[in-house]
Amino acid sequence: MRDLMLPLDDRGFAYGDGLFETVLVRDGRALLWEAHLARLAEGCARLGLPAPPRARLDPLPAACGAGLQVLKLVVTRGSGGRGYRPPLEPEPRWGFSATAFDPAPLRWFAGVEVRLCELRLGRQPRLAGLKHLARLENVLARQEWDDDTIAEGLMCDSEGYLVEATAMNLVWLHEGRLETPLLDQAGVAGTLLAALDAETPLQRVRAEPQRLQQAEAAWVCNSVQGVWPIRVLRDTEGAVLRRWEVAADDLLRRLAHPLLGYPVGSDT
């Protein structure tokens, strides 16, 4: 991490009091950059901390160098405050790292297996949608399996409604409509999800896993990995709940991958 030295009293380190963004950078150009900065600005406003200056953020993608890189930007509230009480005038810390990235094209075209997670996400509308640093729920959910054939785990909230995957958003096709879970109680509002919604309307729904099982197609997606069609859905014990055929002319990939510079078909 560059430019970010965290003392023990940093509130991001101590309490997860901060935000982060992971941005796909191609040859020094950030993909969906405006969407990432908009989400970061909203998160800072909702947490009540000053956002990093735009003039210092805009040069970061060019500093990542050639090829595909993942730029990770971290913002914390900084030090100060006794216990949980934050300082009245925070002095945020922020820093970034750049890591070479190798995508997984087989998952784009062959699809993936996913499973339902036992862990339930807590509902907290004041944090819903934010990519905040306190991600222990996702960490615990990802601990539930150690089988490399399972690419992702799908999480429900405490009421049993679908929210997201551990590191990706969830979309499915139901009766000809693209649907995605409502993220007003929990979950991360993905930047690729927002870009897809601008391309074609996504219906936000409160749905239990049974609705996903009835879908004509389903996907997990994010702004780094792109779109992975779901081929197999398993329950928490590993039993198959549903199988789908992965279409060569995949709807969501056609919409999403041009936004990330990824191929739409296996022959492109």
Cα 223 from Cα 22, distance rounded (Å) = 8
**Catalytic residue flag (residue 175):** no
Question: Which residue is catalytic, options 21, 76, 152, 164?
Answer: 164
Cα 100 from Cα 89, distance rounded (Å) = 36
- CA separation, residue 227 to residues 64, 135, 172, 189, 195 (Å): 24, 22, 12, 16, 13
DSSP 53-87: PHHHHTTHHHHT-SSEEEEEEEEE--B--STTPPP
Question: Which residue is catalytic, options 22, 76, 166, 180?
Answer: 22
**Catalytic residue flag (residue 199):** no
Are 32 and 223 spatial neighbours (Cβ–Cβ below 8 Å)? yes
**Catalytic residue flag (residue 164):** yes
Question: Which residue is catalytic, options 131, 137, 144, 216?
Answer: 131
Task: Report the helix count and the strand count for the chain, using DSSP H and E.
Answer: 9, 13
Which residues are tagged catalytic?
22, 131, 164
